[in-house]
Every structure is written in structure tokens, then in C-alpha cells.
Homo-oligomer: A and B are copies of this chain.
């Protein structure tokens, strides 16, 4: 009886996890495709950048925990979702004047969902809690870093003009891993955590919150 409850609860949790990852994939794929459109790439470049942005973080995470082949090569939902998103953006994309916010929003939504789902995957795989938080951060940030490297930009997390990005992500990963460690994790808690990361990141963009700079002596 308990086992059945636990199992159906686990099913619900894993369904939420799956949905969260898929929405994150679509959001990151859209962010990669929008950058590709802005750079006037052709259809191949758009789909390629969409897929690399959407799947890159999870593939790095899976390589690090030794889950090979990575889930992106066994469950094709993610690959198809990312490629379709790239195609949709190819045919329809917001006019240029609107492109900054769509990009920021899709990126922030993907970041929040990937940090939480990446942390959960790491934790369930059995790594220590700090490593799970780190894996969540890498899952969230990895896709964007690959996207920026491939399109010849310095990664957002290292740009001097970029508002807070890694700090909300890492804070969210620490909260998620703590919650899991004390066995309080519920799907809605994970989603709240993801939403909080997204909101804090977008607030940082809106209100130009930056991390402290070093006092640079030379110049």
C-alpha cells in the first residue's frame, strides 16, 4: 500500500521532472535559435545552435556522472523538441525590436528549470550534495556557455556587462540539494525553486544588478 503510494508519487515526481526538462529544452533551444537568427545563420546553423544550447548542459552533466550514452542519445524527446523549436523560430521569430526580451526570458526559464532538474539528477545518481549543486549549476550554465563559444561570444557568465547569472543559479542549486538532502523534495518545491531562479535572473537584468568588481589598480 505504502509502496504503491510511493511509486505513484515517484511517477508524479518523475513526470514533473520530465516535463520540467522538456520545457527547459524548448526554452534554451529558443534562446539558441534566436541568437542564430540575429546572426543571420541559415536553417542548419539555427537548428544546430538550438540543439547544442538545449542539450549541451545535460550532456556535460551525464558525461561527468558517467551516464553514457547521455540521456539525449537514448530519449529522443529532447532532441526532437529542440530541433522543432529551432525550425519554428526559423519560420517565425519576433521582430528585432522585441528580440532582447524574448532572448532573456527564454534563457532565464531554461536556466531555472535546468539548474533544478540537473541538481535532482545528480542527487539521485548518488553524488554528494555539494557535487549535486555543482552539477545543477553546470547543467544550467553549460548549454549557454556552449552556445556563446560556438557563436564567437564570451560566455555570459564571464561578460563584464552581464547582470547576475551564476549567483541565482548556484543559490537555487544549493537550495534544491538541501531540500533533497533533508528529504523534503516535492515537485512543486522544485518548480518554485526554478521559478525563483528565473525571476531573480530577470530582475537582475531589469534592474542591472551586478556582482562586485575587484578594485583594479592598473589602468
Interface residues of A (CB under 8 A from B): 36-46, 48-49, 59, 63-66, 68-70, 73-74, 76, 79, 89-91, 93, 95-97, 99, 127-128, 130-131, 134-135, 145, 149-152, 154-155, 157-160, 164-167, 210-214, 216-219
Known: A41-B158, A96-B219. A59 touches B64 (CB 8 A): yes
Q: Measured between C-beta atoms, what is the minimum distance from A149 to chain B in Å?
A: 6
Q: Pick the contact of A64 from B63, B157, B158, B217 — CB < 8 Å?
A: B63
CB A138 to nearest CB in B, in angstroms, measures: 10
Contact of A214 among B63, B93, B217 (CB under 8 A): B93
- In contact, B214 and A43 (Cβ under 8 angstroms): yes
Complex CA–CA separation, A40 to B159 (angstroms): 9
Please report the C-alpha to C-alpha distance between residue A45 and residue B155 in the assembled complex, in whole angstroms: 10
- Given the complex of chains A and B, what is the CA–CA distance between A128 and B36 in angstroms? 29
24 contacts between A and B (CB under 8 A): A37-B214, A42-B210, A43-B214, A44-B157, A44-B165, A44-B211, A45-B157, A45-B158, A63-B68, A64-B68, A64-B70, A65-B69, A73-B128, A73-B131, A73-B135, A74-B128, A79-B134, A89-B214, A90-B214, A95-B218, A96-B216, A96-B218, A99-B218, A150-B154
